[in-house]
Structure 1
Amino acid sequence: PAPSPPPSRSQCRIQLRQVQKTYKNQTVLTDATWSFAAGDRVGLVGINGAGKSTQLRILARTESPDSGSMEVFPANVKVALLEQEVQLEDDRTLYEELASVFGGAHASRRRRAELEAELGESTSDVERVESLVEELTRLSVEADLDVEAGLMDRKIGAVMHQLGFDPRAGQRTLGSFSGGWKMRVCLARVLLQDPDVLLLDEPTNHLDVRAIEWLEAHLLALRLPMVVVSHDRQLLDRVCTSIVEVERGRTTSYRGNYTQYLLAKRAALARQWTAWEARVAEEARLKDMVARLSAGAGAGRASSAQRELEALRSGGAQRPFVPKKRAFSFPPIPSMGRLAVRLTGVGHHYGSSQACGDIETLRSPRASLETSHASKSPPAPSAPAWLFRDVTLDVSRGERVAVLGSNGAGKSTLLRLVAGLNQPAEGCVALGPHRAEPNYYAQSQADALDPGCSVEATLRLAAPLAAEHELKALLGRMQLGGGDSLARPVGALSGGEKARLALARFMLRGGSVLVLDEPTNHLDIPTKEVLEEALRAFEGAVVLASHDRFFLRKVATRVLTLEGGALTDHQGSFEDLLRRDAAERALSQRQDAELRDLRLMTVQSQSRRSRAER
């Protein structure tokens, strides 16, 4: 009989079985058992430090499990990993970065260019010229025979077009791209590897809302099996076909997207509680039977009940695990006036940043914190590149205002002006006259923590007079507690722990006007949910920038967009904005369709007239 054809890589299947992994005596995974196949888009979820990225590295074969196994079918499946933080060389061009994926072909082309340049300079040394010509001839012949080298430019051009790069962008240096476009560079590198399976670790980091929506659409169009680690709940909803939860070192698989996973988990938890309550009731009945019948004629029945009780205790339903509730709130604010902050004719341009000090300096009793920061700087000698101009805005007590815009539009600059950390190039920023006190959370707050400083010293920078038990209680609520939690150096904390510590320090500072720049960066989903509850309960004013659409839906009561140097007030929540955008897109699509029909009718009419004239 004819041999059966080898299995196609497009029909791949990968399975983890009872995988365990320990780092420095800390067990991260105890039983990771799950699988995925062609057509699956798996969302891997869990708190920070649960072992999600560890499993991606095991799947990518860059790390090995301590025990357990990974089965890959067929064996030649190619897996590519888009890591959470990729270091790119800013002075390298986009083309050089993408061509480096091809290894030998790119190195050969670069060497030929070097040889040609040296030949142009070497005229006196005959032996050297002969050596260069010989090497150049050999490399040229190899290049002519190398199919991959011939396809390299076409593949790079196709992927650049697929990801929306301008064809001329190949000669731009990587340092000239924004964070969102750098993510596309990393994704292009991964796609040029022609993978059968795609692994993505927090792919929405540093992306604005539009870039995230583009990424979602692109992932859906790829039609590759993939595993996505993300704290972006909306991306998990739109992209994923199944969810794998990592909790206390074990994995549980659920079919459906993130919302369906939450519903399924809630139903499973209800069933576990029902089984547990039934076990408790049965245990009480058997105990009572043993107590009543242990003496006399019923001793045999008592012995039988005792065996049932022991069997129930060893193999019966277990009490469901319920994570400890992370509850915190911002300090109560004194009564404040209706107006929190007012911007009048505010403009700012590159090179006009005049720092007013950090937030601790501004909050100190000695600081001259007047209600306004008006520009007193002389005009720039040459035409400045304005980020925005003529921004006029009132924010009132009780409002939670979200500022949206693409990367580089000036959102962070605007927030620093609102917080009083910089003066505007023109116009005036005024705090409300009655107890309007700003508190600022920077986008890179967690990264800016001093790694050599202890947790206690970090918190005391914000609250020098706080009692030790108050600091410990706050750390406990942020799940940073423990016997020596205050003495731990910041450098020993994980990325998620640093983010929670930065949030704890922010909370200690208080304030009636909270200004937050991308506060959900590096936070896991449970911590995001707690922050959402705390902000909704806050009685002062909130001004924030965020790319997390689920977070914006929960928190924002008013949405502004900063694009093209102008601030637009949409007078409604994020949900209202999405509904209006959807209606506008539908109207635009209808108008485009009507225009196409009109053009078609015009062409047909002209064609009929031409035939009639002939």
Structure 2
Amino acid sequence: MIELRDISLRYGPKVIFDCIGAVIGARDRIGLVGSNGTGKTTLLRALLGKAEIDAGQIESAKYVTLGYLPQDGVSTLNLPLFQEVEEAFQSVISIRNRLEDANTKLGALLPEDEKYHELLELIGGWEHELEAHEAHKLQSRVEAVLLGLGFQMSDMDRPTGEFSGGWKMRIALAKLLLKTPSLLLLDEPTNHLDIESLRWLENYLKSYEGALLLVSHDRAFLDSLCTRTFALSMGRLDAYAGNYSFFDRESKVRRELLQKAQANQQRKIEKTQRFIERFRYKNTKAKQVQSRIKALEKVDRIELEDTEKEISFSFLPPPLSGQKVLEVEGLHKNYGDLKVLSGIDFSMDRGDRIAVVGVNGAGKSTLARIIAGEEPYQSGSVRLGHNVSPAYFAQHQAETLDDEETALSVVERASPSGQVDRARTVLGTFLFEGDDVFKQVKVLSGGERNRLALTKILLSRANFLILDEPTNHLDIQSKDHLQAALADYSGTLLVVAHDRDFLEPLVTKVLEISRNSIRWYYGNLSHYVAKKEEEALSGQENVSAAVEDSVGVSSKERRQHNVKIRNQMKPFRKKLEECEARIARLEEKISSVEQEMKDPDFFKRGEETQQSMSEYDSTKRKLERLFEDWEKAMEKITSLKEELI
């Protein structure tokens, strides 16, 4: 579907891509991983044609369409929410508008008028097109995606300009999903989602008919969706035939093999160098010495990326607090007429490890700010216990950093007396290495400022940590370091986060905020997710029973109908798989011939060249026919899916 050939890119002396290549197939599910700064976002933008490359080619099949969700910076049209998202079906809306206009004009004409039959023919054609696009289902499709992403029916007429940046990202994601491009390019799509909408997106993408290329620091999300992994490091792109966990294991095996090969190569190099040094000035060995010098110059030296430093970062032992760390009683918080928290009561004991979850806008961050003493409230009480020393992190704290300070001076000032040496270690944990520690705050990116603000908190000796989305600007390795440190932290922890993999080993209770109230789930995050799935299933059964009463369709009839439809889909799915396998083989064959064409002598081979070119043209024609067959099978599957009830 898409092929990257010998892509190279440098930013000054820094090599981003060094002659990398890859193929993305029609149904691929690919996770794109690598440390911050290795070029993940740049690669997505290069695929879109928005980032120039120094050399190489990006080729795609004619039918391919791309859809891109950036990490931030999306804009809206300030239309009502439903209308804005419906713009994803612009071609269908355009036909519908032309049809309405034509029907109005037709009403003003008589059958004997010259334009009457011309309009009638146009109307018939447009009606057929709308039927083919299933225009009657547009409203339900738009609403289903918006509700899945956490919007309410009451939001449908709300101007999109009124939504916060996080909700605007969801609006952009909804439009993208409904456009159904051949390849979805998603750059950290989970950053602005809560656990409920993240689970919905995960399930939606599992059944997505196109290809996916995902950048994410959420290991569970990558493991659930991806069947291939592209890893960027040192300008290379290495492909792995599995999800993130497979990549994690396999990359270690590959590295061990490379280390052995590098050690063996180094021994040979040193042996050659000793020979050269020993006989450099002996006339009888001059030819051999020169031969070995030339051989040494031609050696393609095996290079390894610097290993992740074994950073044993851990919190300093905090002072012991009293048994009761926090008491919240009758807490009420409103923003104007909007009730956020209504009569909340709960407490935390020393050593509690609590995740705060809920849909966006439920009040999770508001509660964290109130507990940290950074947000006023209308009534109730919030009391910290004896000898409780809290530390609070939220994304906005990056704005409080002094622009003129360096990263190193910021953390040195935050370090307890006698612990300044730890500052560099902790900075290294969160990707400030070498001269980066001397960068002034004013030149740091938004993500770097957030990581620096988080580092300040981790250097404190607080015995009560309040963390609001601490992983949003961390790569997977930095997140792992933070997770390991928090797992060994002996104080009390309250964390607002949506990253399931991050929360899983850290928390023993889950506090869910919804509809101005709270609900406790005792156990880790897996327990919470399982309980929510049980509740959702129970709710679906109740809805099913109501549907049976209202439309007279029993569960048995529904199952029988769906089995019949799925059986009808089987031959088309098989056809799809056959086409994809043959497409892959033909694309490989075409690529092989094109590689030969780069040889200057290729076109000097007479009959052999003619035969190769004839086969090349024939293969290309076969490939085009296969793509047509693939599209027909895909259309049939999509059509049958709509008949499922």
In 2, are the aligned partners of 1:326 and 1:527 still within 8 Å (CA)?
no
2:376 counterpart of 1:389: no
Of 91-100 and 502-511, more deviation after overlay is shown by 91-100
TM-score, normalising length: structure 1: 0.72
2:244 counterpart of 1:244: no
1:52-451 aligned at under 5 Å gives the runs: 52-74=40-62, 76-89=63-76, 91-98=78-85, 147=126, 157=139, 159-165=141-147, 170-175=156-161, 177=163, 182-279=168-265, 315=299, 318=302, 320-325=304-309, 327=311, 329=313, 331-339=315-323, 341-351=325-335, 385-397=339-351, 399-433=352-386, 435-446=387-398, 449=401
In 2, the alpha carbon distance for the partners of 1:586 and 1:266 equals 40
In 2, the alpha carbon distance for the partners of 1:167 and 1:390 equals 26
Look up the equivalent residue of 1:81 and give its one-letter code: Y
In 2, are the aligned partners of 1:157 and 1:167 still within 8 Å (CA)?
no
Look up the equivalent residue of 1:332 and give its one-letter code: L
The structure with the largest helix share of the pair is: 2
Quickly say closer, same or farther: Cα 1:468–1:329, change in 2 above 3 A: closer
Structure 1 unmatched ranges of 5 or more: 1-12, 114-139, 353-382, 605-614
In 2, the alpha carbon distance for the partners of 1:603 and 1:229 equals 42
Look up the equivalent residue of 1:163 and give its one-letter code: V
Structure 2 unmatched ranges of 5 or more: 101-118, 558-645
Look up the equivalent residue of 1:414 and give its one-letter code: L
Look up the equivalent residue of 2:65 and give its one-letter code: K
Q: Secondary structure at the match of 1:62?
A: coil
In 2, are the aligned partners of 1:417 and 1:423 still within 8 Å (CA)?
yes
Of 339-348 and 580-589, more deviation after overlay is shown by 580-589
Q: Which residue of 1 aligns with 2:27?
A: 39
Q: Which residue of 1 aligns with 2:625?
A: none
1:110 Cα deviation after fit: 11
Look up the equivalent residue of 2:344 and give its one-letter code: D
Q: Secondary structure at the match of 1:555?
A: coil
Look up the equivalent residue of 2:254 and give its one-letter code: A
Q: Which residue of 1 aligns with 2:482?
A: 531
In 1, the alpha carbon distance for the partners of 2:554 and 2:431 equals 67
Match for residue 510 of structure 1 among 441, 461, 464: 461
Greater relative contact order (Cα 8 A, min sep 6): structure 1 or 2? 1
In 1, are the aligned partners of 2:194 and 2:498 still within 8 Å (CA)?
yes
Output the aligned Cα RMSD: 4.6
In 1, the alpha carbon distance for the partners of 2:515 and 2:155 equals 22
1:560-575 aligned at under 5 Å gives the runs: 560-575=511-526
1:37 Cα deviation after fit: 1.1
Residues matched between the structures, number: 529
Of 209-218 and 196-205, more deviation after overlay is shown by 196-205
Quickly say closer, same or farther: Cα 1:240–1:17, change in 2 above 3 A: same
In 2, the alpha carbon distance for the partners of 1:460 and 1:291 equals 49
Quickly say closer, same or farther: Cα 1:311–1:586, change in 2 above 3 A: farther
1:207 Cα deviation after fit: 0.5
Quickly say closer, same or farther: Cα 1:333–1:601, change in 2 above 3 A: closer
Of 148-157 and 50-59, more deviation after overlay is shown by 148-157
Quickly say closer, same or farther: Cα 1:561–1:61, change in 2 above 3 A: same
In 2, are the aligned partners of 1:460 and 1:466 still within 8 Å (CA)?
no
Of 256-265 and 556-565, more deviation after overlay is shown by 556-565
What does the per-residue CA deviation read over 1:417-472, in whole Å, with 9 as the maximum and x for residues that have no partner?
Answer: 32233355444323231x32000001333456465665356447746988986655
1:49 Cα deviation after fit: 1.7
In 2, are the aligned partners of 1:180 and 1:208 still within 8 Å (CA)?
no
Q: Which residue of 1 aligns with 2:639?
A: none
1:31 Cα deviation after fit: 3.1
1:173 Cα deviation after fit: 1.3
Quickly say closer, same or farther: Cα 1:236–1:463, change in 2 above 3 A: same
1:524 Cα deviation after fit: 0.9
In 2, the alpha carbon distance for the partners of 1:288 and 1:218 equals 62
Quickly say closer, same or farther: Cα 1:254–1:601, change in 2 above 3 A: closer
Q: Which residue of 2 aligns with 1:547?
A: 498
Look up the equivalent residue of 2:375 and give its one-letter code: N
In 1, are the aligned partners of 2:77 and 2:84 still within 8 Å (CA)?
no
